[in-house]
Structure 1
Amino acid sequence: MRAIFLIVVVAISVISCISTNSIDRRVASGDYSYAENGLTGSEASDYWHISEGADVYPYAWIKRLTNTVATVRSPYFTDLDKKYGILREPNYGSYSHIVPWVGLTLAWSDAPEDQADITKEKLQQKGIREEDILNRYQVITGKYGGEVKSIAMVGTNCSACHSSQLNVSGNPIFIEGAGNRLDIRGFFKDMMGSTIKMMLKPAELKVFLESFNYTPTEAEIISNEFVYKFKRDLRLPGFISRGAKRHILGMPEWNQKSRRDSKESPSAEVSPAESAKVQAEQVTADKDLDEYFEHLADPQLNLQEKIAKLVIQKHLLRHRDVVARYLKIMLALTVFKDDPAVRNHQIKNIDLKAVLSLELQARMEYMAKLISGYPETTEALARYGRTDAFGRIGNTVARMHDPNPLTGNVSLPSIWAIQYRDMFHWNGNTNSVLMRNIGQSFGLGAVLIEPDAKDGKKNRATTNFENLNKIENLMYKIEVPQWTKLIGENTIDKSKIELGCNAYIFNCMNCHSSHKKVGPNKELLQYRVFDLRFIGTDPNQAVLQTKLINGLPLRKALFGFTQGVRDQYHADFPEKVSSEGMLKNMEASYQLRGQEVFRDTFLGETEANVKYNLDYVDIQAQSGYAARHLAGVWASAPYLHNDTVVSMKELLTPPEQRLKRFRLDHREYDTQNMGLATFSDQELDVVCSERESACMKVNNSGVKEFYAKMKAGKNVSYKDITGNGDSNLGHNYGTKLSEEEKMSLIEFLKVLEPEREYAWSSGRKYYEIIGSVCKAM
């Protein structure tokens, strides 16, 4: 479908097929306590909530917004666990952060980095009540100097995708650092869809304005004027007929309040017949509008639905500047309603530059991009627990005029055991923690404040470098999840450990272990990236990013962008960069990792890798995926880089026999097969028809043809990618093991120990490997 928005596991008994009558098995998070897994409670709270500078949406709006896009109308900011898989914070209220959802941030716009995060403690110090930030702005000295008007903004940080919960026999267990069962696309889709729909519906907008203490009469007058002018400027078909214009402008309230220009005055009274005709036109147009919003993220559209959607999308895309302008007007009319520059709440009299800072203007322009999307971009359904992060980040910062197809969706990966990992991302393309985190902040919603500036400040960004530094150090502390600690030693079948360990040695260990130390001081663990032709898994994510960006490889275009943002920060804040905390962290990172490099996985090693003798990669011109250590893999289901294999047992099954359809939107775990629990075909039919993003539907179309060309010696490229990224083919390793060996291997992976750099501090030892032989202990 066309892209609309820009822009992110255990039951003691055997679970094979769960009935629909027992409990609600959506992604709702239950009442649970936080079991420390490397982070203390207060550290975890900071990890879940400190801002990366990607605070995209006004807090005053999100607390009032009604979800009008979803099947059931509801306050948008409630039940986020049930609707999108965003986890409710464990032990909420024990710490100072205000928002109760893991991964959601609350920060002041324009604020200096150390003052940005809004906490109960900081509000108390300023004498501000929590309810006040829903109705007021504050005047502050901004991050880049000067006096600015600042408001509370909501966003996300990395923990939304990289903290999870698994249900073991109905008991919720929090797994820090695990990929979440999260519908991040749905979260943003519904937020932006509900916002734009409200802005185009007078009745919805009237209710919204009344919540900002407008009287019903004031709210009705403003909403009618706003919606009429917005639709007029968008040039939406069916909304700008002569009769509709006369009907709207002839409303008594407008005449009484003189809320129109004299040129817009109707030349005569509107007859009842004409009024009825206009109202019928409006009903038809509104019906088309509703159909558009109902099908925003549905790739399976019939012709009529496609037309209804594309008609509106065309206008939103063509008139993105109009969308941005009216978002700014809406912000002025609501949070800044009492500002002197919002004179008499008349749209034509609002001085937007006097009301909104450059950052808030950039935020609204970014929202307009989220709403209007890309021209002619193919997008595959992301589904729960996945996103095409690289595609979206690349499109956001470098490919707006030539976007990549968004068909490279990948699993939200685990982020434990990363401090000594040599390269990051599924295809192992960078060694820089800071650079990947800068890119991530833009993927989540950080923006350039003044990208067209001519004075050398065009790379000034909202990215919060101080918090990125904190988050990086917190991530290093997250431990590999320990089954026996979180689930219990009594759940391990010790009789299977020795056979499983030997199966691991001969079928898994060679690929999923580090055989070499790299980096300046040879402290980093190198994990090999295996050529696609050897593993045979879906090629989309690895290959699509080889498309040139304005004649440049991705490594130069994207890395150049993030370097520009970093260098601008260094120039603006030399005292911060040289401060003890940040400088110490930068020096430690350089000692460990050396010169920052971005390796193009298709074109081979970079010049930097050779020049600085970092010895990070052995491979040359090939594309593929990195094989990570398997400690903690039990908490990472589903499997493969694109989440297309429901359990470890299925991964050990020949590809043609693997399950082709299963649910992604739940947390029930199958301990025997090590993966998500599966459901009956009958229940799948219901769930998949109601919410397609909740289901994985494997699609191997185009993948066999791609590999046939590769094996025939032809030069394949992104132009040969025709599938939607949802293939479960490949990774045939272990499929020929006996049933006993497979089940023993699964049991062994529950107790597999991490590398010594990440060794657990407690727990019994179940095995010992001496050479190529394993003995149970």
Structure 2
Amino acid sequence: MLKLILKSTWFYRLPKRLLFFFTACITIYESYSTLKVVAIFFSILISPLMILVTLIPESGIDSESGAAIVSQDSFGDNYTEIRYLDQNWNSADSNWFYNTTIGSNLMPYDFFMVLEKEGGGELFRSNENMNFYRYLIRKASSGNPDGLPVGWVKSDYKSQKYIGLTCAACHTGQINYNGVGIRIDGGPASADMENCIIGLAKALQYTSNNEEAKKQFVKNVLARGHYKSETEVLGDLVKYEQQLINYITINRSPTPYGYARLDALGRTYNRVLEHLISEKELQELLLDHKIMYDGNMDDERFNKIIKEIARISTGDQRDRMMEYFTHTQYLTKQQLDRMRTELFNPADAPVSYPFLWDTSQHNYVQWNGAVMNSNLGRIVFGTEKVIGVFGSLDWTKKNFNSSVSIFNLRSLELHLQKLQSPQWPEEILGEIDKQRASQGKQIFNEYCASCHDNILPRMYRVSDIGTDPVMAENSFSHTGYSGILRNQYVGVGIGNILLGEKVPMVALLTKAALSTISTIDSDKNSFERRLDRSADFFRASFSNAPYPSIKQGNYDPDTTAKPFASLNAYKARSLNGIWATAPYLHNGSVPTLYDLLLPKKREGDPKDGEYRPDQFEVGSREFDPIKVGLKSSGYEGFRFDTSLKGNSNAGHEYTTGKTAQLNGKILKPLTKEERLDLLEYLKTL
């Protein structure tokens, strides 16, 4: 019974203030041996209270979902009601997932609440605008008083309120059919984060450059009562405008992402790099002839920059370093472009947002199994995510202070253990043909089960699968300056690696995350830190974290010569709930499951054959229960072009006679009727 209580939803949402004295008791116990008896007695006395408060719902948790409806939008979507499927979460569980901060600080909360779109008139946060970026809109409620979209939350760091993103922003999906919106907790979002951030930057630029808009903005921010002066507001306006422009500039990609995709890993790599760069490395880059050769870097200009380097290489300034060089005009555009190329890597491998059910049982996570999901690996992965979505990073050689909420990350991991895959709702999407499904199961066992029949995922070489290689290649081939981590060691699968001047990004990201986790949370007092530690101990003791194990499957193992060779692979996972996770393949290059069972059209193929679409529209949530996927034509959304880098829709053609099975055998292509049988079975998973 105790184990069930400690694993319950309420246990990791303990009202911390009520347990303040319990924490004080533990502190006294650890510090003064003469008071051990008193401390033990008090601990026993307070224990029943601990158990009771775990069963009391936290104030502010909604009993209703708070989902808002959309009558008609630019994508043709139309739903008048929202239904949640049974995924072993109740409405309080869902709302806790939507509303729990992980430490993301995109911009001051007051700014977001009053900021108008570029051109003025409409609030950026309006339901219409956030729905355009495909974030799921919500009504105001007790747990979400400002009516923020799913996954957008208020966070608190160093006594300032911010707007930030949570896991739910990217991992909550919805499909629509016949006027009903089906909410999928843990499913892939349709969000276009890339253009949402661009839109925010343009809104800040417009406000900054338009005197009337700026005056009204300052007035509205001051009216909220958290800023003391116009000067303070204008200072932050410049700061966050520059930060977002800097973020957009260093993550510029030749391949547009569109809806339902993001190169989260590439962008996280670049955030790490801009916060690791050292004063010495900046000086060396400014003296590098390959970067500065076409400029007139005279002594006066050089000395001005050198004087500023100590200031701009601090944690508070690194987020806008490239913008600083742009505004001061110390460097030419060509010099800036070469410096950006030298410092950062292109974030040009957008992938779909993975679905989260069952991930708590996976031994490795990420599309290419880059992070171990046992022991500390789970929190390392969570910390990396917060770094990527605008966590405040006050990193120095001595301390890696940040806004990352380790306590909430652990809570979210435990919360996800309850989440189950959604079952096909026959009352909405139509009944499953049992006879076809039975025939489809036989096809699944022959064509699919060798890779997808186990809850523990398997890894397979990219060259064997044949799908787009860019994401996997970027993960291990991208490198960067180690900066303030230089000459430190980081443990990887084959042993410890010394971080030299320029090293693989996967090693830098791991070390940066570990350093962040090990840094004492300076934003909490000692009692709060002890309480978090005690709660973490109890939760870790009763969690079902995967046991550390080697990767299964066929892939190239790590060696001393190639310590990250195993990352050149993709993960095959169980397919329960796969019907609700369109678009398909890791890069979202196939709109429906039916299309996935078709071959890619190649030169010389018959013109009248059935093939995967080379171009299709993305953005609509309207569901196609026949092809099992999202509507991909008949509206103006984002045009997905499979000819662009990172967008290939080739590979994984096991049902078409193009890709060999694990044993090297190529099975006969499925007929159309057999494809439909297999689809019917996939609906049952």
- Shorter-chain-normalised TM-score: which range? 0.5 to 0.7
| 2:133 is the alignment partner of 1:84 | yes
Partner of 2:474: 544
Give 3-state SS (helix, strand or coil) of 2:640's partner.
strand
**Cα offset, 1:593, TM superposition:** 3.5
CA contact (8 A) 1:26 1:82 kept: no
2:197 to 188, 202, 206: 188
CA shift in 2, pair 1:46/1:727, >3 Å: same
Query: Measured at CA, do residues 496 and 463 of structure 1 come closer, stay the same or move farther in structure 2, by a change above 3 Å?
Result: same
Counterpart of 2:580? 635
Counterpart amino acid of residue 447 in structure 1: S
- Tell me, yes or no, if structure 1 residue 569 matches structure 2 residue 619: no
The aligned residue for residue 398 of structure 1 is 273
AA aligned to 2:388 is G
Identity %: 23
CA offset digits 1:655-710 (Å, max 9, x no partner)? 11211222211111110111112324xx4xxx25xxxxx221221xxxxxxxxxxx
Q: Name which of 662, 672, 692 aligns with 2:616.
A: 662
Q: Which residue of 2 aligns with 1:368?
A: 242
Question: What does residue 407 of structure 1 align with?
Answer: 348
* Equivalent residue, structure 1, for 2:123: 75
What amino acid is aligned across from residue 565 of structure 1 in structure 2?
A: T
Q: Which residue of 1 aligns with 2:257?
A: 382
8 A Cα contact 1:25 1:668, kept in partner: no
Q: Who is 1:556 aligned against?
A: 507
How far does residue 487 in structure 1 lie from its aligned partner after superposition?
Answer: 4.1
2:590 aligned partner, one-letter code: V
Q: Of 696, 704, 710, which aligns to 2:640?
A: 696
**C-alpha distance 621-442 of structure 1, shift in aligned 2 (>3 A):** closer
- The secondary structure found in structure 2 opposite 1:543 is helix
Higher mean Cα deviation, 552-561 or 630-639?
A: 552-561
Instruction: Indicate how the Cα distance of structure 1 residues 35 and 486 shifts in structure 2: closer, same or farther if over 3 A, else same.
Output: farther
Could you tell me how far apart the structure 1 residues matched to 2:441 and 2:544 are?
Answer: 37
User: Which amino acid is the alignment partner of residue 387 of structure 1?
Assistant: L
What does residue 89 of structure 2 align with? 39
* Distance in 1 (alpha carbons) for counterparts of 2:98 and 2:107: 18
1:266-300 deviations in Å (ceiling 9; x for gaps)? xxxxxxxxxxxxxxxxxxxxxxxxxxxxxxxxxxx
Letter of the aligned partner of 1:394 in structure 2?
Y
From the superposition, tell whether residues 374 and 192 of structure 1 become closer, same or farther in structure 2 (CA, over 3 Å). Answer: closer
SS in 2 for 1:67: coil
Aligned pairs for 1:94-493 (under 5 A) are 95=143, 98-110=146-158, 150-212=159-221, 337=227, 339=228, 342=229, 345=230, 368-372=242-246, 373-374=248-249, 378-398=253-273, 402-431=343-372, 432-449=377-394, 451-452=395-396, 456-457=398-399, 459-484=400-425, 487=428, 491-493=431-433
Shift in Å, 1:539:
0.8
Matches within 5 A, 1:702-713: none
Structure 2 residue identity aligned to 1:369: Q
The verdict on how the C-alpha distance between 1:367 and 1:586 changes in structure 2, with shifts beyond 3 A counting, is farther
SS in structure 2 of the partner of residue 483 of structure 1? coil
Are the structure 2 counterparts of residues 82 and 29 from structure 1 closer, same or farther at C-alpha, using a change threshold of 3 Å?
farther
CA gap 1:23/1:447 in 2 versus in 1, 3 angstroms: closer
**Deviation at 1:739?**
0.9
461, 479, 499: which one aligns with 2:439 = 499
* Displacement of 1:66: 1.0
Q: Figure out how many residues of one structure are paired with residues of the other and give that number.
A: 496
Question: 1:528-557 CA distances to partner (integer Å, 9 max, x unpaired)?
Answer: 211111111111100012222233223321
Gap change, CA 1:29 and 1:558, over 3 Å in 2: farther
Report the alpha carbon displacement of residue 640 of structure 1 after superposing the two structures with TM.
0.6
Going from structure 1 to structure 2, the CA distance change for 1:207 and 1:603 (only over 3 Å counts) comes to farther
Give the Cα–Cα distance (whole angstroms) in 1 for the partners of residues 565 and 353 of structure 2.
Answer: 27
Q: What residue in structure 2 maps to residue 62 of structure 1?
A: 112
| C-alpha contact 1:196 1:371 (8 A) present in aligned 2 | no
- Confirm whether residue 746 of structure 1 aligns to residue 679 of structure 2: yes
Q: Which amino acid aligns with 1:188?
A: I
**Aligned partner of residue 734 in structure 1, secondary structure:** helix
1:57 positional shift: 1.7
Aligned residue identity for 1:404 = N
**Secondary structure of the structure 2 residue equivalent to 1:63:** helix
How far 1:389 moved relative to its partner? Answer: 0.4
- Aligned residue in 2 for 1:677: 631
- Cα deviation for residue 184 of structure 1 reads 1.4
Please tell me whether the aligned partners of residues 440 and 677 of structure 2 are also in contact (alpha carbons under 8 angstroms). yes
1-structure distance, mates of 2:155, 2:142: 19
Alpha carbons 2:578, 2:682 under 8 Å: kept: yes
Q: Distance in 2 between matches of 1:602 and 1:663?
A: 34
Q: CA deviation at 1:646?
A: 0.8
- Which residue of structure 1 aligns with residue 650 of structure 2? 729
CA distance in 1 between counterparts of 2:217 and 2:78 reads 28
Structure 1 SS opposite 2:654: coil
Cα drift, residue 211 of structure 1:
2.9
Greater CA drift, 502-511 or 568-577: 568-577
Number of the residue aligned with 2:14 = none
Structure-2 separation of matches of 1:677 and 1:162: 20
Q: 1:476 is matched by which residue type in structure 2? A: Q
The alignment partner of 1:211 has SS state of helix
- Structure-1 separation of matches of 2:551 and 2:480: 15
CA offsets per residue over residues 411-466 of structure 1, 9 Å max, x none? 011111111111100001111221111010111110213x24x6x33x01101112
Unaligned runs of 5+ in 1: 1-20, 111-149, 215-333, 515-524, 611-618, 689-693, 700-722, 753-777
Q: CA deviation at 1:75?
A: 1.4
Structure whose CA Rg is larger: 1
Kept in 2: contact 1:27–1:665 (CA 8 A): no
One-letter amino acid of the structure 1 residue matched with residue 655 of structure 2: G
Q: CA separation of 1:663/1:549 partners in 2, compared to 1, >3 Å: closer, same or farther? A: same
CA distance in 1 between counterparts of 2:137 and 2:78 reads 8
**Alpha-carbon distance change, 36 to 502 in structure 1, aligned in 2, over 3 angstroms:** closer
Change (3 A) 1:369 1:439: same
Does the CA-based 8 Å contact 1:426-1:626 persist in structure 2?
yes
Q: Does the aligned pair in 2 maintain the 1:39–1:474 contact within 8 Å?
A: no
Secondary structure class of the residue paired with 1:415: coil
Checking the alignment, whether the CA contact within 8 Å between 2:104 and 2:403 is kept in structure 1 is yes
CA contact (8 A) 2:177 2:623 kept: yes
Q: Is the 8 A contact 2:358 2:417 kept in 1?
A: yes
What is the alpha-carbon distance in structure 2 between the residues aligned to residue 409 and residue 190 of structure 1?
A: 19
User: 1:29 & 1:465 partners in 2: Cα distance?
Assistant: 37
CA distance in 2, matches of 1:624, 1:429: 9
SS of match in other structure, 1:552: strand
Cα distance in 2, alignment partners of residues 37 and 590 from structure 1: 18
1:381 is aligned with what amino acid?
Answer: P
Distance 1:27 1:157, change over 3 A: farther
Aligned to 1:605: 558
Higher relative contact order (CA 8 A, sep 6+): 1
- The answer for the alignment partner of 1:760 in structure 2 is none
Distance 1:486 1:471, change over 3 A: farther
The whole-number CA distance in structure 2 between the counterparts of 1:603 and 1:397 is 27
Q: Quick one: distance in 2 between partners of 1:59 and 1:433?
A: 29
Q: How many angstroms apart in 2 are the aligned matches of 1:486 and 1:582? A: 42
- What CA deviation, in whole Å up to 9, does each residue of 1:578-605 have, x standing for no partner? 744211334456963449x999x99843
Cα gap change, 1:526 to 1:32, in 2 (>3 Å) = closer
Listed one character per residue, the Cα deviations across residues 140-185 of structure 1 (whole Å, up to 9, x for unaligned) are: xxxxxxxxxx343211101011111111222111111110111112
CA distance 1:594–1:733, shift in 2 (3 Å): closer
- The 2-side partners of 1:426 and 1:434 are apart by 17
TM-score, normalised via structure 1 length: 0.59
